[in-house]
Amino acid sequence: MDIIVQKFGGTSVATEELRKKVASKVVATKEAGKSPIVVVSAIGRRGDNYATDTLVNMATSVYDGDNARDLDIIMSVGEIISSVILSNTIKSMGYKSQAVTGFQAGIITDNHFGDADVLKVDNKYLMDLLNKGIIPVVAGFQGVTEAGEITTLGRGGSDTTAAILGEALHAECVEIYTDVDGVMTADPRVVKKAKVIEEIDYEEIYQMADEGAKVVHPRAVAVAKRSNIPMKVKNTLSDSKGTIIIQKNHYLRKARKSLEEENMIRAIAHKSNISQISVFFDDNMEDNDILMNNLTKFQVSIDLINFFTDKKVFTVDNKDLNKVKNILEENKFKYSIIKNCSKVTAIGHKIRGIPGVMGKIVRALSHSGINILQSSDSYTTISCLIKEEHIEKAVNALHAEFNLDK
């Protein structure tokens, strides 16, 4: 049985017209002799009647205390509504379909409400439907604990649902449908000349997602990579080929080529709403331990980390800034904060240590009048912290510098 998992986001199922387009794509897959499993997000986005944020606001307007278990129940409702409506749309076209909740689909999680991890999947229910020729439409983003408690998988959880089901059912591929033609060399809303990347490696797309590209959730990419299932990113509104994400072997090379020959930089990603923190020490290791232990205790994720003898410099998302300030004030640390920052990241395979990459980045930003506040690199990324007001100019400058619009 050739199973294809097809995931459609909230904007893809927001209107009756769009749902008919989605249903047509699902039916076409069925007519091609494949066995589709559909995964859907909640209808629409913030402000729409059944969007997840709307449902959460309804609950928190009454009580905004520690309520993660109950919030997971209401957050799961949007996807259930979406699955029933899309399933009925497919039925109206003369095909057998059935709405399926995440827990009916056999997705068993831990009890970390709001951001649960999947422990296992019992695929029997879905396989029974497929064997009967029924198209399952699964509510994404949700699962159930072994004790029967409803859970949600965190932001981007429907992508994770699709990847997890693809792995559990040994799918031929997982298709992620969005409102763009595929994975782009940069955010097309920022770079008008951004191009579709026809083929990309798991590690590269993981870094793109992790560094701010909102195409596929990093968790979903990690699942697809470990199970070696091809993932395709396609446009709901067109028949474009899209982007295929696979394990690419052509990076295994006998001799290093030049930067231009390798075409190593594949995309430019960016992330905003960041603050840079500098904490000053008097060479006191105990203070260092206090700082790090408190950041861990209050679940503050830090990035762009540069530690020196006399100071520690790192960045945090603005949502965690008050937590950090409280930690610093309570422990009487000397510190400074630079707000309104953004991170711009060049992404490619094995770029660390390649002569010329950092030089091109510095030159492009400098020629655009942009100061680099901080930088870091990894095996596949080079990131620069800049002022948020320059982010659009920076992304365009780097996109042009590495000839990504060609």
Question: Which helix H or strand E contains 292, and what residues bound it?
Answer: helix 285-297
Q: Is 109 annotated as a binding residue?
A: no
Contacts of 402 (CB under 8 A, 6+ apart): 265, 268, 346, 360
Q: Is 91 annotated as a binding residue?
A: no
Beta bridge partners of 145: 109
Q: What is the DSSP letter of 116?
A: P
- Residue 140 phi, psi dihedral angles, 5° rounding: -75, 175
Minimal CA–CA distance to 76: which of 96, 100, 93? 100
Question: Which helix H or strand E contains 29, and what residues bound it?
Answer: helix 16-31
The mean predicted confidence, pLDDT, of the chain is 90
Amino acid at 295: L
> At CA 154, angle to CA 290 and CA 204, rounded to 5?
85
Amino acid at 387: K
Q: Is 381 annotated as a binding residue?
A: no
Domains of the chain: 3-178 (3.40.1160.10), 261-401 (3.30.2130.10)
The stretch 291-311 carries a mean pLDDT of 90
pLDDT confidence band for 350 (50 / 70 / 90): low
Q: Is 114 annotated as a binding residue?
A: no
- C-alpha 245: how far from its chain's center? 14
In angstroms, the CA 358 to CA 362 distance is 6
Q: What is the pLDDT of residues 160-209, one digit of tens each?
A: 999 999 999 999 999 999 888 999 999 999 999 999 999 998 888 888 88
Q: Is 189 annotated as a binding residue?
A: yes
Q: Is 351:361 a contact under the CB 8 Å cutoff?
A: no
Amino acid at 267: A
Strand, coil or helix: what is 248?
Answer: coil
Q: Is 7 annotated as a binding residue?
A: yes
- C-alpha 235: how far from its chain's center? 17
| Two tokens, residue 372 | 């680099």
Q: Is 8 annotated as a binding residue?
A: yes
Least confident of 205-209, 299-303, 340-344: 205-209
Per-residue pLDDT, 283: 65
Whole-prediction pTM value?
0.85
Minimal CA–CA distance to 73: which of 121, 142, 156, 164? 142
Contacts of 338 (CB under 8 A, 6+ apart): 275, 276, 373
Rounded percentage of the chain residues whose pLDDT exceeds 90 = 70
Minimal CA–CA distance to 233: which of 316, 162, 310? 162
Give all strands (DSSP E) within 81-183, no chain letters. Answer: 97-100, 107-109, 118-121, 135-139, 142-145, 150-152, 173-178
Q: Is 215 annotated as a binding residue?
A: yes
pLDDT confidence band for 286 (50 / 70 / 90): confident
Tell me the torsion sign for CA atoms 394, 398, 400, 404. negative
